[in-house]
Amino acid sequence: QPCWREYLTTRIEQNMVVNCTCPISECRAQPTTAFIYSIVSSEEIIAKYEQALLRRYVECCSNLTWCTNPQGCDQILLKDGLGYGAACSKCSWISCFNCNFPEAHYPASCSHMSRMTCAKCNHGFCWRCLKPWRPNHKDYYNCSAMVSKAAWQEKRFQDYNERCTFHHHAREFAVSLRNSISSIREMPKIRNLTFVLDACKVLEQARKVLAYSCVYSYYNQDTESMDIVEQQTESLELLTNAL
């Protein structure tokens, strides 16, 4: 029993307990949940085991997924029936369930987000850091990579990229401002600041739309409707700056 306890504890701590087999090489038997509960007594290790089971269950269910908030969120979301604008009930993050980008990106389409490429060599990259684009690119919101001069050869791309980055930074400012106001509101003798919090949320959403409008405009410059889109974007930007 002590040998089994040490073996199972190690597998759980290494996140390798799911589908683990008997340590005897020629035996393919898998320990059951009941057996693991009877062997492992540590509440901390059991909690890790249950988390591993939960992760495996979510991965196996096509209609379930984890919230994609890059800041971290352990909420499980039901994809069925969720359209654009449906937010996580725990952290309010809005995910995109149609592609691997970490958040909803209206008005840019999923194909826009997956084909951020150089017009010359077709190299795929992230607009924020210019690192090679991968479906599991995790550094989008915390990227401080140096930008290669060769990537800025096209003036049009540079302009849209700078605008996109500006609005993402402005959006982070809106989030920071909302958090500061939330902490102030908890202080005694402070008047109701709900309207200011609502304004910060609107500001955050507007900056997000403006950022992804840059991506949308970059890939749809030749379509007939772009004049209207650019006018609407310019109007939204003026009003957002005023707010």
Same-domain pairing of 183 and 230: yes
Name the pLDDT band for 107 (thresholds 50, 70, 90). confident
Same-domain pairing of 213 and 199: yes
Name the pLDDT band for 147 (thresholds 50, 70, 90). very low
Same-domain pairing of 126 and 67: no
Whether 185 has a pLDDT exceeding 50, the answer reads yes
For residue range 188-214, what is the model confidence (pLDDT) as tens digits? 656 677 888 889 989 999 999 999 888
- pTM for the model: 0.55
Same-domain pairing of 24 and 123: no
Distance CA 75, CA 234 (A): 36
Structure tokens at 66: 């984890």
Q: Long-range contacts made by residues 189-194, C-beta under 8 angstroms, separation at least 24?
A: none
| pLDDT value of position 13 | 85
Same-domain pairing of 133 and 181: yes
Radius of gyration of the chain (CA): 24
Same-domain pairing of 97 and 15: no
Please, are residues 73 and 91 in contact by the beta-carbon 8 Å criterion? yes
Name the pLDDT band for 42 (thresholds 50, 70, 90). confident
Same-domain pairing of 47 and 135: no
Q: Please state the domain count of the chain.
A: 3
Same-domain pairing of 140 and 44: no
Last residue of a domain, one of 56, 72, 96: 56
Element (H, E) at 207: helix 194-219
Please, are residues 64 and 76 in contact by the beta-carbon 8 Å criterion? yes
Same-domain pairing of 51 and 76: no
Same-domain pairing of 72 and 165: no
Same-domain pairing of 153 and 206: yes
Tell me which of 212 and 113 has the higher pLDDT. 212
Domain membership of residue 47 as a residue range: 1-56
Task: Determine how many CB atoms are found less than 10 A away from the CB of residue 166.
Answer: 14
For residue range 149-179, what is the model confidence (pLDDT) as tens digits? 444 446 677 788 888 888 988 998 998 888 8
